[in-house]
Amino acid sequence: MELRFLGGADEVGASCTLIEIDGQRILVDAGIRMGPSNNSKWPGVGNMDKIDALLLTHAHSDHTGSLPLLAKENILPEKVYCTHPTKQITQVLLEDALKRVEKSRSPEYTSDHASCALSRMSSVSWMEPVQVSDCAKATWIPAGHILGAGMIYLEGKQDSILVTGDVSGDDQLTIPGIVIPEWCRPDVIVMESTYGNRQHKDRACQENALVQHVTRVTEAGGRVLIPAFAVGRSQEVILVLKDSLERRQIPLYVDGMVRRLNDVYSRSVPDLKPSLQCRAIGGGDIFYSDFVRKVESRDHRERILSGPPCCIVASSGMLNGGVSNAYAGHFAGDPENLIAIVGYQGEGTPGRALVNLSKAKELEERKWKLSQKEYVNVRCEVKEYSLSAHADRMKLTELVERLSPKKCFLVHGDDSARKGLAESVRNSSPTVDVRLPENGRTYTYTKRAGITNGKQFGNYRILAELNSYLQKIGATGPFRARDLAEYWFGTEATTLFEEKLFQLFLTLDRQEVFVRDRQSPHLFRLGWIV
């Protein structure tokens, strides 16, 4: 089995992984880079050969935004497999993206390419294996990140791999959390690491703080803007605030693409939490009421801006365009107002700049570049709340422990997040080979048969035989103790005991059949020539 990371390996964005298994070429996700970047926003899909199947973990644009480009390049397969909510959400996101693309002087794709991508999307059911190619089947397992998000368990004739996409360890207000079935035992995991170097703050405390601050500001005569990701985060925020603001009769307005996606959530009753299912089945509206309303038009928006205190939830979440950017221009200069940041703010985005500026003590240091032409002096309150839909270091580490793969690739994270999570996983699951892949590189997983054949040798003879074999097959290393144990005993027969045994052998190796790597003492290279 080979994995080639076309995007999303050593970054957050442009997730796109090509898996070759039993001669089949399976692409998992096809995203774009979000926000400003020194690189192209597209993953490295140019000049790609034909692929046999395309599987989507979830609908966020950093996992689906390149679908029209694949259609344009004539490499989109006949079927793009995903859950039904992912199909519906992706349609909304691609239609919104198309509006921006068509305004460009040199559009990267056309409406025909987007329509082609949408027409090939085929819905799958949870926990039911789907034959996605001649020699491979895939099963979607609930990931808990957003509506329709799934981990994909891909099985070939001999090897298996789990691509987590983005996962949430706990239940949210809208959807249940991750599910880990007993039968899921992958050889390899490709796992996100967005928050791999940190622990989330207590979710209930963060939600309560948001409610209290919104209430305080609005009751004192101010307005609150909550720029939120249109998929997932906005729906969570609305439910966090809904009951409290209704009791106080404080208007909560919903604007931007959030409105269409609320409709998708409301139609996806079987995928919601049981409490919301009951409300929907009973005829109640999940999100809206007399005090929670959609912004209906530009005139309505103007009336809100000049009207009484209120709270507004609007896209985009990083203030990178969208209606939240327009609201922010009106709100930021008034010290009575609050801009509440409830999600990840990418480097180079207006949202990240706002968070950084809010920490400046001097007013002249708080000049905010809202767009290419507009600057605003930030006088309003700016507060951050940890309402992430990504699992943190502890939850991700526990996931690897439960699944116990042979190899784990950490992706979808910055350098510090991936390194922090790698250390945590290595400490908790020392038998797992943890790798930090790079975009554009290909990685191989092969089950080793083992050469022991029941031979009963002392430790020196075992190392000498193994040294000779590795030279014969051209394996130059460096090797972990685990690798050497697998070459000797075989992948399936190697447990923590066999690994510890080889660690002892290497410690006792006075003849230097294997020598420690100078830069990484836990790695070994061929030493004594047999």
Give me the DSSP letters along 439-489.
Answer: TT-EEE------S-TT----HHHHHHHHHHHHHHHT----B-HHHHHHHHH
- The DSSP bridge partners found for residue 201 are none
User: What is the predicted pLDDT for the residue at 183?
Assistant: 94
- The CA-CA-CA angle for residues 386, 89, 395, to 5°, reads 35
Residue 45 has what pLDDT?
78
Average pLDDT over residues 417-423: 96
Is it the case that residue 37 has pLDDT exceeding 80?
no
Note whether 75 and 53 are within 8 A (CB). Answer: no
- Mean pLDDT, residues 46-68 taken together: 91
For residues 491 and 486, give the distance between their C-alpha atoms in angstroms, rounded to a whole number. Answer: 5
Taking residues 443-450, what's their average pLDDT? Answer: 90
Question: How high is the pLDDT of residue 44?
Answer: 81
Over the stretch 288-310, which tens digit does the pLDDT of each residue have? 999 999 999 999 999 999 999 99
Q: Average pLDDT of 376-396?
A: 93
Q: What is the percent of the chain where pLDDT is above 70?
A: 97
With residue 311 as reference, give the H or E element that holds it: strand 311-314
Q: Residue 484, class by beta-carbon neighbours within 10 Å (0-12 exposed, 13-18 middle, 19+ buried)?
A: buried
Q: Hey, CA dihedral for 384, 385, 390, 394, is it positive or negative?
A: positive
Q: Determine which helix (DSSP H) or strand (DSSP E) holds 21, and give its type and residue range.
A: strand 16-21
Provide the percentage of residues in the chain whose pLDDT is more than 90.
72
Q: In what order do the strands lie in the sheet with 24-28?
A: 121-124, 80-83, 53-55, 24-28, 16-21, 2-7, 442-444
List pLDDT tens digits, range 465-489. 999 999 998 888 888 888 899 999 9
195 DSSP assignment: B
Per-residue buried b or exposed e for 489-523, using 16+ beta carbons within 10 Å of the residue's own CB: bbbeebeeebbebbbebbeebeeebbebeeeeeeb
The mean pLDDT of 65-76, rounded to a whole number, is 94
pLDDT at 519: 77
DSSP letter for 370, please. -
Residue 530 to residue 342: CA distance in whole angstroms? 61
pLDDT at position 39 is 65
How far apart (Å, rounded) are the C-alpha atoms in residues 413 and 287?
A: 32
Residue 53 contacts residue 366 (beta carbons within 8 Å): no
Q: Which amino acid is at 23?
A: G
The structure tokens listed for 431 are 């038998």
Range 130-136 average pLDDT: 94
Model confidence pLDDT, tens digit, residues 323-335: 998 999 999 999 9
- List, for residues 217-251, the tens digit of each pLDDT value: 999 999 999 999 999 999 999 999 999 999 999 99
- Range from 110-119, 172-181, 265-274, 448-457 carrying the lowest mean pLDDT: 448-457
φ, ψ for residue 153 (rounded to 5)?
A: -100, 105
pLDDT at 49: 79
Instruction: Cite the beta strand spans of 328-455 per DSSP E.
Output: 338-341, 367-369, 375-377, 381-384, 407-411, 433-435, 442-444
H or E segment to which residue 132 belongs: strand 130-133
From the CA atom positions of the chain, what is the Rg in Å?
Answer: 26
Give the pLDDT of residue 530.
52
Return the closest-CA partner of residue 186 out of 148, 149, 158: 158
Q: Which of 55-59, 145-149, 170-174 has the lowest mean pLDDT?
A: 170-174
Among 190, 229, 200, which residue's Cα sits nearest to residue 59?
A: 229
State the average pLDDT over residues 116-134.
Answer: 96
pLDDT band at 50 (very low <50, low <70, confident <90, very high): confident
Phi-psi sector, 110: left (phi>0), alpha (psi -120 to 50), beta = beta
CA 316 to chain centre: 18
pLDDT higher for 520 or 3?
3
Structure tokens belonging to residue 19: 């898996």
Which amino acid is it at 357? Answer: L
Q: What is the pLDDT of residues 5-30, one digit of tens each?
A: 999 999 998 999 999 999 999 999 99
Q: Which of 123-127, 277-281, 416-420 is least confident? A: 277-281
pLDDT band at 98 (very low <50, low <70, confident <90, very high): very high
Alpha-carbon distance values, 87 to 13, 53, 81, 123, 261 (Å): 19, 16, 9, 7, 12
Compute the average pLDDT of residues 339-344.
Answer: 92
- Reading across the β-sheet that carries 311-314, which strands appear in turn? 292-294, 252-255, 311-314, 224-227, 338-341, 381-384
pLDDT of residue 214: 97
SS3 string, 107-125, reads CCCCHHHHHHHHHCEEEEC
